[in-house]
Amino acid sequence: MADRRLIALGCLLAAAAALFLFWGLRGPTAYILELRLVKLAALLAVGASAGVATVLFQTISQNRILTPSIMGFDALFLLLQTGLVAGLGAAGASRISGLPGFALETAVMLGAALVLFTSLLGRTRHDIQLMVLAGVVLGVMFRTLTVFLQRLMEPSEFTMVEARMFAQFSGIDRSALMAGLGLMALAGLWLVRNHQVLDVAALGRTPARSLGVAYDGLQLRVLCLIAALVSVATALVGPLAFLGLLVTSLAHSLMQSHRHALLLPAAALIGALILVSGQTVFERLLHLQSTLAVVIEFCGGLLFLVLLVKGKIR
């Protein structure tokens, strides 16, 4: 029994996607359509994975304000990418670009995220302020290290990583897109089978454990999932700090439910809808190629401040 709100979101998204594909289609139609299709797939993938990753992160950290990006997940991913280029050199890095590069980056990301965030979540879960602080410090540290590594680089290596430091929706790497979609399909499969245990986990560690949920193992698996989804989004377009927060706030106020069966699809649809419709407006209507990320960051950042000030920390 699909929820009416989810169906409405799906219809809106389909309409937005159709608009994005066919609006102002001139010239070599097939070629342009193919370009647009690739871009559309990337927008859908990024929006959905950012939304789902954020809902999952908020479930295991038991709060409504933190997102993987605020906690430094995507800064970590950028640091890994930069470290890879610095370590292997531009030639080496370009040899493993595309699918194997993406796989390697994601694998390293999984390991690093697990080590860092399990220890962090274990110690600071009860204290949101401490967690925000730890996340900010980690994010700054990762970014500083990234910049430091870039200073040491050859110019050719630098140009390779520079483009990845800011979110942009052009020049999608197709093999990374395919790998990302594959990874998302796996994540989706896991979620379809396990969404109910997430509802229990969201009650908190102690209540969930007393209901028989092996919480720590579950948390580990969900962190892996988050790291993978963040890798997908960041590899495709770059860091988007506040998209996830924007999406989950909208999803929560639309669904008014604790059930992941509703929250996760809503977040995925809303994330994709924001990106597709935003990109359509900015690219086709306003002819501003690169402003969407800025606007999203601005709105999301504003929302973050509002939530923080209103004390809606949970």
Work out whether 211 is an interface residue with another protein (CB under 8 A): yes
Cβ proximity to another protein, 287 vs 314, nearer residue: 314
Q: Please give the Cα distance from 126 to 280 (Å, whole number).
A: 42
Q: Looking at 204, 288, 295, 313, which residue binds another protein (CB under 8 A)?
A: 204
Give buried/exposed letters for 270-298 (b at 16+ CB in 10 A, else e). bbbbbbbbbbbbbbeeeeeeeebbeebbe
Q: Please give the Cα distance from 87 to 110 (Å, whole number).
A: 19
Q: Give the range of 22-30, 86-94, 213-221, 224-232 binding another protein by CB under 8 A.
A: 213-221
Work out whether 171 is an interface residue with another protein (CB under 8 A): no
Q: How far is the CB of 131 from another protein (least distance, A)?
A: 13
Alpha-carbon dihedral of residues 83, 294, 134, 128, nearest 10 degrees?
-150
Work out whether 128 is an interface residue with another protein (CB under 8 A): no
DSSP, residue by residue, 297-309: HHHHHHHHHHHHH
Q: Of 9, 56, 13, which is closest to residue 260 (Cα–Cα)?
A: 56
Distance of CA 168 to CAs 69, 133, 240, 268, 296, Å? 16, 28, 10, 20, 12
Q: Give the range of 163-171, 204-212, 221-229, 242-250 binding another protein by CB under 8 A.
A: 204-212
Q: Give the range of 79-87, 94-102, 195-203, 281-289 binding another protein by CB under 8 A.
A: 195-203
Binding mask 44-73 for another protein (x = CB under 8 A): ---------------x--xx----------
Binding residues for another protein, rule CB under 8 A, total 21
Q: Looking at 40, 84, 197, 232, which residue binds another protein (CB under 8 A)?
A: 197
Cβ proximity to another protein, 210 vs 289, nearer residue: 210
Q: Please give the Cα distance from 110 to 274 (Å, whole number).
A: 27
**C-beta atoms surrounding 251 within 10 Å:** 25
Give contact residues for another protein (rule: CB under 8 A).
59, 62-63, 196-197, 199-200, 202-204, 206-207, 209-215, 258, 314
